[in-house]
Amino acid sequence: EVQLLESGGDLVQPGASLTLSCEASGFAFSTYDMHWVRQAPGKGLEWVSAIGVDVSRRYYTGSVEGRFTISRDNSKNTLYLQMNTLRADDTAVYFCAGRYCSGGYCYPLDYWGQGTLVTVSS
Amino acid sequence: EIVLTQSPGTLSLSPGERATLSCRASQSVSSNYLAWYQQKPGQAPRLLIYGASSRATGIPDRFSGSGSGADFTLTITRLEPEDFAVYYCQQYVNGPWTFGQGTKVEIK
C-alpha cells in the first residue's frame, strides 16, 4: 500500500523556520518526482515546490523562492521542505505528492499524503 | 506562468444530473498535460483525469475529460452522492505546476 506521511507542522511566529518531512512507503520513491502543494484554510490548492529524480532539478513558486528549500533523502525514502522567514500567508496544510515519469511522459500527481498544518501567527 | 481559470465557481445539481466543469488556460497547454482532481473536505486531492482525457486507475467511467489547447472540460454524466466535492484542474507541463481555483459541486 502506498503511503506518504507528512510531519513537522506546527504553530510558529512570523520570521521563524520550520522543516517538514514526508516519509514514503509502498512505491519506488527514488524513481518519483516529488512535490509540495499547500492549501490555506478554506482556499484552493497552490503548488509550492518540486524536486526531480535528478535532484539538481528543483522548482519553486515565486512567493517562496529564496525562503523555502526542497530536498530528498532516497536512502530514507523521505522528502523535506525547509521553510525560513515564515509569513502569515504561509499558513496552510502542506501536502506532499509524487508523480512518475516514464518513456518521455510524466504523469500528474498520483500519490498524496494527508497533509500537515503549518500555522504562522504571533 | 500558465493561469488556469475554472468555471463556474459553484455548481448546484441533484444526484443523477450531469455536471459540466470548465477549465481555461491563459496559453495553450502543450501535449495536453492537463489533469483533474477531486477533493472532499478534510481529505487529500485524488487524481481523476490525466492527459486531458485519460481516466486514472479506479476512476468510474461516469467521469470523462475532454478538450485541447487552452480549453478543457470535465464531465460527470450522472452524479452520485459521493461526487459532491471540489474539483481542480492542473497543468503539469513544467514548473510552476499551476492549479485552477476550483469548482464546487454541491447538492441542490
In the predicted structure, residue A104 carries a pLDDT above the cut 90: no
Query: What local confidence, expressed as pLDDT, does residue B20 receive?
Result: 98
- Say whether A45 and B90 touch across the interface (CB within 8 A): yes
- Say whether A59 and B92 touch across the interface (CB within 8 A): no
Q: Measured between alpha carbons, how far is B80 from A82 in angstroms, rounded to an integer?
A: 41
| Overall average pLDDT of the A93-98 stretch | 98
Query: What local confidence, expressed as pLDDT, does residue A101 receive?
Result: 87
Which residue among B43, B50, B86 sits closest to A107, beta carbon to beta carbon?
B50
In the predicted structure, residue B76 carries a pLDDT above the cut 90: yes
Question: Which tens digit of pLDDT belongs to each residue from B17-56?
Answer: 999 999 999 999 987 899 999 999 999 999 999 999 999 9
- Say whether A44 and B35 touch across the interface (CB within 8 A): no
- How far is residue B90 from each of residues A92, A106, B27, B95, B99, measured CA to CA in Å? 19, 13, 13, 11, 4
For an interface test with A, the pick among B97, B99, B103 (most A C-beta atoms closer than 10 Å) comes out as: B97
Chain B nearest CA to A2, separation (Å): 13
Partners of A58 in the beta sheet? A51
Question: Which tens digit of pLDDT belongs to each residue from A11-44?
Answer: 999 999 999 999 999 999 999 999 999 999 999 9
Report how many Cβ contacts below 8 Å link chain A to chain B. 61
